[in-house]
C-alpha cells in the first residue's frame, strides 16, 4: 500500500488514483474517519478524468497509530510532506469537517503554485468552541463529553453518533444501516488516543488568520441542518473571512452531506472546479 514516512517516523497511508498528468484533487477527511469517507467523491471525479488523492490522517485508518502529533500543526505538516512527495502542482484541496480546517491552514501556508482552488465542506473553521471572542460557539462541556465517551465508550458512542452526523435522527429520514456501519468501521480502525487528542485539534484550533490569508478561489459548502458543526457559527463566518469566497448552503442537509447527498455535492463541486 502506498505510504510516506514523516520526519518523526509516522507512516501516512494514501490513495492516488488516475493519470499522473491529470489535474489533481486532494481530499481531506473528518474526525474520526479515514480516506474511505470520500469514496463517493473519489469515484465520481476519477470518472471525470481527474487525479484523485486522499490520505488517512496520522492515528486514523491505515496510517501509523502514533503516540504524538495529534494537533493541527502536525496534521498540516503531514500534508506538506505528502504533497511534496507527490509534487502536486495546481491542486484543488477539498476538506470535510476537521479536514476543512486542515485545508484552510495548508492552503494559507502552501508554496506558490501548489494550490489552485480550495473547498471547505461542513468545516470546523474558523473556530468551534465557545470563547470570549467567539460567544456563539459550542460550549466546552460538549467537547468534554465527546472526549469522555471516546475514551471509555468509543464503540457504542461512535455508532450512536452516526444518527445526528447523517441527520438520521430527523423525522422522515431514511436510515441506511450500511452507511452507519461504514462510518463505525472507519472510526474503529483508528487509535483511541488519536481520536481523543484530535477533539481539541478540531474544536479549539482558531483558523481565523488562516482564512484571511487564503488567496485562491474558495468554495464554502455547509448544510443548514448540521447538528455537529453548526452552520451559523462556522460556514457562514468562514465565507466572510475569505476574500472572494463563494458560500453555498443547503437547507436541511446534515453534517455528512457528502455521503447522504453525494449527487448534489459532487455536481456543485464539479461546477466550481470547472468554473
Q: Is 35 a catalytic residue?
A: no
92: cell is: 484543488
Interior/surface letters 198-221, b for 16+ CB within 10 angstroms, e for the rest: bbebbbbbbbbebbebbebbbbbb
> What was the pLDDT predicted at 251?
98
| pLDDT one-digit tens code per residue, 230-260 | 999 999 999 999 999 999 999 999 999 999 9
Q: How far is CA 76 from CA 73, 98, 103, 209, in A?
A: 5, 11, 8, 15
Which residue do the cell numbers 483511541 mark? 192
Sheet-wide strand order for 218-223: 3-5, 11-17, 51-55, 24-28, 91-96, 115-121, 218-223, 246-250
The residues that bridge with 61 in the sheet, in sequence order, are none
Question: Which of helix, strand or coil describes residue 56?
Answer: coil
Torsion 234-237-238-239 (CA) sign: positive
Q: Where are the domains of the chain?
A: 3-274
- pLDDT tens per residue, range 63-118: 999 999 999 999 999 999 999 999 999 999 999 999 999 999 999 999 999 999 99
Q: How far apart are the first and last CA of the chain?
A: 34
Cis peptide before 32 (omega within 30 of 0): yes
Catalytic residue among 34, 64, 97, 122: 97
| 197 belongs to the catalytic site | no
* Average pLDDT over the chain, rounded to an integer: 98
Q: Is the peptide bond between 142 and the residue preceding it cis, with omega within 30 degrees of 0?
A: no
What length does the chain have?
275
Strand partners, 93: 26, 118
> What is the pLDDT, as a whole number, of residue 216?
98
Q: Which of 55, 96, 195, 255 is catalytic?
A: 255
Q: Are 28 and 60 in contact (CB under 8 A)?
A: no
> What's the Cα-to-Cα distance from 10 to each of 4, 54, 76, rounded to whole Å?
8, 17, 14
255 in catalytic set = yes
Pairing of strands 24-28, 3-5: unpaired
- CA geometry: angle at 261 spanning 71 and 200, to 5°? 15
Is the separation of the CB atoms in 87 and 111 below 8 Å? no
- CATH 3.40.50.1820 correct for 3-274: yes
% of the chain surpassing 90 pLDDT: 99
Mean pLDDT of all residues in 131-154: 97
Identify which of 3, 47, 4, 54 has the alpha carbon closest to the alpha carbon of residue 22. Answer: 47
Share of the chain above pLDDT 70, in %: 100
pTM over 0.95: yes
Q: If 0-12 CB within 10 Å is exposed, 13-18 middle and 19+ buried, where does residue 193 land?
A: middle
pLDDT at 1: 76
Q: Is 172 left (phi over 0), alpha (psi -120 to 50) or beta?
A: left
CA 190/CA 69 separation, integer angstroms: 14
The active-site residue out of 36, 56, 210, 226 is 226
Amino acid at each position: 500500500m502506498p505510504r510516506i514516512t514523516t520526519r518523526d517516523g509516522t507512516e501516512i497511508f494514501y490513495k492516488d488514483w488516475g493519470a499522473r498528468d491529470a489535474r489533481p484533487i486532494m481530499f481531506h477527511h473528518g474526525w474520526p474517519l479515514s480516506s474511505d469517507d470520500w469514496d463517493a467523491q473519489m469515484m465520481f471525479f476519477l470518472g471525470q478524468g481527474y487525479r484523485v488523492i486522499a490520505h488517512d490522517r496520522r492515528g486514523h485508518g491505515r496510517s501509523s497509530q502514533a503516540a504524538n502529533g495529534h494537533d493541527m500543526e502536525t496534521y498540516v505538516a503531514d500534508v506538506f510532506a505528502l504533497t511534496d512527495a507527490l509534487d502536486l502542482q495546481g491542486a484543488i484541496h477539498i476538506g470535510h469537517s476537521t479536514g476543512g480546517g486542515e485545508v484552510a491552514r495548508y492552503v494559507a501556508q502552501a508554496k506558490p503554485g501548489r494550490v489552485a482552488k480550495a473547498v471547505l465542506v461542513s468545516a470546523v473553521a474558523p473556530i468551534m468552541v465557545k470563547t470570549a471572542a467567539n460567544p456563539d460557539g459550542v460550549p466546552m462541556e460538549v467537547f468534554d463529553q465527546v472526549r469522555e465517551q471516546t475514551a471509555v465508550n468509543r464503540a457504542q458512542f461512535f455508532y450512536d453518533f452516526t444518527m445526528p452526523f447523517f441527520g438520521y435522527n430527523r423525522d422522515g429520514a431514511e436510515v441506511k444501516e450500511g452507511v452507519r456501519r461504514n462510518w463505525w468501521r472507519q472510526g474503529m480502525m483508528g487509535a483511541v488516543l488519536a481520536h481523543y487528542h484530535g477533539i481539541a485539534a478540531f474544536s479549539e484550533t482558531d483558523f481565523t488568520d488562516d482564512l484571511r490569508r487564503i488567496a485562491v478561489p474558495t468554495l464554502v459548502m455547509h448544510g443548514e441542518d448540521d447538528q455537529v458543526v453548526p452552520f451559523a457559527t462556522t460556514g457562514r463566518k468562514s465565507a466572510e473571512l475569505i476574500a472572494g469566497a463563494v458560500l453555498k448552503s443547503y437547507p436541511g442537509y446534515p453534517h455528512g452531506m457528502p455521503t447522504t447527498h453525494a449527487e448534489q455535492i459532487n455536481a456543485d463541486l464539479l461546477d466550481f472546479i470547472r468554473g
